[in-house]
Amino acid sequence: EAQVTQNPRYLITVTGKKLTVTCSQNMNHEYMSWYRQDPGLGLRQIYYSMNVEVTDKGDVPEGYKVSRKEKRNFPLILESPSPNQTSLYFCASSRTGGYEKLFFGSGTQLSVL
Amino acid sequence: SQQGEEDPQALSIQEGENATMNCSYKTSINNLQWYRQNSGRGLVHLILIRSNEREKHSGRLRVTLDISKKSSSLLITASRAADTASYFCATDLGGNQFYFGTGTSLTVIP
Chunked mean pLDDT (size 10), chain B, 110 residues = 77 97 90 92 94 95 96 97 96 81 94
Residues 6+ apart with CB under 8 A from A50: A30, A31, A56, A97, B96
Is residue B71 classed as helix, strand or coil in its secondary structure?
A: strand
Please tell me the distance in Å from A107's CA to the nearest CA on chain B.
6
A3 touches chain B (CB under 8 A): no
Q: How confident is the model at residue B6, as a pLDDT?
A: 86
Q: Which of the residues in chain A have pLDDT under 50?
A: none
**Is-contact A86 B21, C-beta < 8 A?**
no
The rounded distance, in Å, linking the Cα atoms of A34 and A24 is 12
Q: How confident is the model at residue B93, as a pLDDT?
A: 73
User: Do A59 and B41 make contact, defined as CB atoms within 8 angstroms?
Assistant: no
Residues from chain A contacting residue B45 (CB–CB below 8 Å)? 101-103
A64 touches chain B (CB under 8 A): no
Residues from chain A contacting residue B32 (CB–CB below 8 Å)? none
A34 touches chain B (CB under 8 A): no
A44 touches chain B (CB under 8 A): yes
The rounded distance, in Å, linking the Cα atoms of A25 and A71 is 8
Q: How confident is the model at residue B97, as a pLDDT?
A: 81
Please tell me the distance in Å from A77's CA to the nearest CA on chain B.
20
Q: How confident is the model at residue B3, as a pLDDT?
A: 64
Q: Is A36 left (phi over 0), alpha (psi -120 to 50) or beta?
A: beta
A59 touches chain B (CB under 8 A): yes
User: Do B92 and A101 make contact, defined as CB atoms within 8 angstroms?
Assistant: no
What's the number of CA atoms in the CB half-sphere (13 Å) around residue B74?
32
Q: How confident is the model at residue B92, as a pLDDT?
A: 83
| Contact residues, chain B to chain A, C-beta under 8 Å | 1, 3, 30-31, 33, 35, 40-45, 48, 88, 90, 92-103
User: Do A59 and B1 make contact, defined as CB atoms within 8 angstroms?
Assistant: yes
Determine the Cα angle at B65 with ends B29 and B27, to 5°: 25
